[in-house]
Structure 1
Amino acid sequence: MVSFSSMMVFIPMVMIFCGMWGFITYNKHMLNSLLSLEFMMLGVFWLMSIQLTLVGSEIYFSLFFLTLAACEGSLGLTMLILVVRSHGNDVFSSFNLLEC
């Protein structure tokens, strides 16, 4: 029988690996890559908050991590908007990254 605490650690690990799988397999579109990175960040945040709660330590570090994840998401969306405005779409195969 699986205990509740081990299940609470297993679910974020599955989220992280699903995010990695999505990042590796759907790498043609920039929006799919950004969504899978955010899904991985959500899994890491959930795992970190569970671990910090079980240890009994301060939760402020997880809030700092959540702030950095939000900044990473906004920076990724900004890059997506710049790519779409300059090249017309977010498909990586349609433009060359070496030309400026």
Structure 2
Amino acid sequence: MVSLSIMKVIISFIMVMSGLWSFVNYYKHLLNALLSLEFMTLGVFWLMSMQLSAMSGEMYFMLFFLTLAACEGALGLTLLVVAVRSHGNDRFMSFNLLEC
């Protein structure tokens, strides 16, 4: 029987891999890419919180990681709003890098 700690590591690894899989396969819209990145960040956060709580270590690094993940999400949503306002949609094929 698999122990509970190994099961938590496997579940968080599956979360990261499924987020990576959806990032690679559903990259046509910016919102899908952002949701995939957030899901991968959530998997890493969950793995880190399980490992740090098992070691009974400091939780400050985990809170720092959570703060960076929230800032990354806010920056991604800001870029999404700017892209929709300037181009009218969030499809990657409609973005032109030569356009100012």
By the TM > 0.5 criterion, same fold? yes
* CA apart distance, 1:97: 2.3
The normalised TM-score by structure 2 is 0.96
- Between the aligned partners of 1:53 and 1:83, the Cα distance in structure 2 is 40
Gaps of at least 5 residues in structure 2 are: none
| Correspondence 1:25 to 2:22 | no
Identity value in percent: 67
Q: How many residues align?
A: 100
| Matches for 1:30-69 after TM superposition, within 5 Å | 30-69=30-69
Moved more, 46-55 or 82-91: 46-55
SS in 2 for 1:27: coil
- Between the aligned partners of 1:97 and 1:43, the Cα distance in structure 2 is 32
Partner of 2:11: 11
* CA apart distance, 1:5: 1.1
* CA apart distance, 1:53: 1.1
CA RMSD of aligned residues (A): 0.8
Moved more, 88-97 or 37-46: 88-97
Gaps of at least 5 residues in structure 1 are: none
The normalised TM-score by structure 1 is 0.96
